[in-house]
Structure 1
Amino acid sequence: MMATTTRTTGKAPLSAYVLSVLTALVLASIVGAIASVFYDENKLLGFVIFAACTAGTFFALGWVFFVSKYTVESDEHAEDNIEHRWYDKATSGAFHDIITTAGIALFVLAITRLEVSGMVVLTLILVLAVVSFAVRFWVARRRDS
């Protein structure tokens, strides 16, 4: 049983799209400005790179806040959908994978006294979470198909 969680209901007014884009540009510029503070050699390059890298996320956020209320109608029974159950299975399994892997990694680092930067650790945790979720979601979907 496949259920749709959303339905489009129409177009948003132009002002909603404008607010969405302006919000994205302002938020991306703020992130770029904060990042440029930490780049001594080329502040403009730091600004442009971080603003560009975060713009897509902020465009999506602006759409959710300003446009989606006109274009998407929520399903009152979304939590009963099979996709929601797949999502729950995948996220809970990924959480356990992260806890287990972090515990093993901490044990290995404590024994070996190896120093690892915070950026490397956080990147690896994020990659593990995304990959674990994707694999578990795919497996849950395949089992129920």
Structure 2
Amino acid sequence: MATATRSRTGGKAPLSAYVLSVLMALVLASLVGAIASVFYDENRVLGFVIFAACSVGTFFVLGWVLFVSTYTVAEDLHAEDNIERRWYGKATSGAFHDILTTGGIALVVLSITGIEISGVSVLLLLLILAMISCAVRFWAARRRDS
């Protein structure tokens, strides 16, 4: 029986690595669906299917990173020296400050006006703000250094 050796040179992954990533995705997505279905009294099956379907892609990517990429992706020995890494660091630290500032201003406005907003809405808006801020700051850093 031949054993597969893990290589960081960018080779081909064995079939078992792909099977493990798919299996992990299905199991974790089913778990998310099962947990979500507990909170849906009217149609538990629909809740299970929707949440499992929405999360299976993310879990497959996680499985690919854990099992397949160890065979197929060559390790960059100088990743910390890449310009993209510096752009990303600048973008995320700036986005964090944008979130703090915006959150503080929004808290003051909501406290003064007495407007009530659900927690889901607030988290969604913060997530959208973080992604847009990070993307714009990354683009600006890339453009400035090019």
Matches within 5 A, 1:120-131: 120-131=121-132
Deviation at 1:11? 0.7
C-alpha distance in 2 between matches for 1:132 and 1:120 = 18
RMSD: 1.0
Deviation at 1:28? 0.4
Runs (4+) off by over 4 Å: none
- Would you tell me which structure has more strand in proportion to its own residues? 1
C-alpha distance in 2 between matches for 1:110 and 1:136 = 30
C-alpha distance in 1 between matches for 2:84 and 2:109 = 37
Residue of structure 1 equivalent to 2:141: 140
The unaligned stretches of length 5 or more in structure 1 are 1-6
C-alpha distance in 1 between matches for 2:9 and 2:82 = 18
Tell me the secondary structure at the aligned position of residue 115 of structure 1: coil
Residue of structure 1 equivalent to 2:111: 110
Normalized against structure 2, the TM-score is what? Answer: 0.92
C-alpha distance in 1 between matches for 2:103 and 2:9 = 41
Matches within 5 A, 1:50-65: 50-65=51-66
User: 2:9·2:75 contact (CA, 8 Å) conserved in 1?
Assistant: no
The unaligned stretches of length 5 or more in structure 2 are 1-7
Q: Does 1:14 align with 2:15?
A: yes
Normalized against structure 1, the TM-score is what? Answer: 0.93
C-alpha distance in 1 between matches for 2:9 and 2:27 = 28
C-alpha distance in 1 between matches for 2:125 and 2:73 = 35
Residue of structure 1 equivalent to 2:4: none
Tell me the secondary structure at the aligned position of residue 73 of structure 1: coil
C-alpha distance in 2 between matches for 1:116 and 1:62 = 36
Q: Does 1:87 align with 2:88?
A: yes
- Deviation per residue, 1:59-82 (Å, 9 max, x gap): 000001111110112212101100
Tell me the secondary structure at the aligned position of residue 126 of structure 2: helix
C-alpha distance in 1 between matches for 2:104 and 2:130 = 15
* Distance change >3 Å, CA 127–CA 8, structure 1 → 2: farther
**AA of the residue aligned to 2:69:** S
Tell me the secondary structure at the aligned position of residue 74 of structure 2: strand
Residue of structure 1 equivalent to 2:73: 72
Deviation at 1:8? 5.7
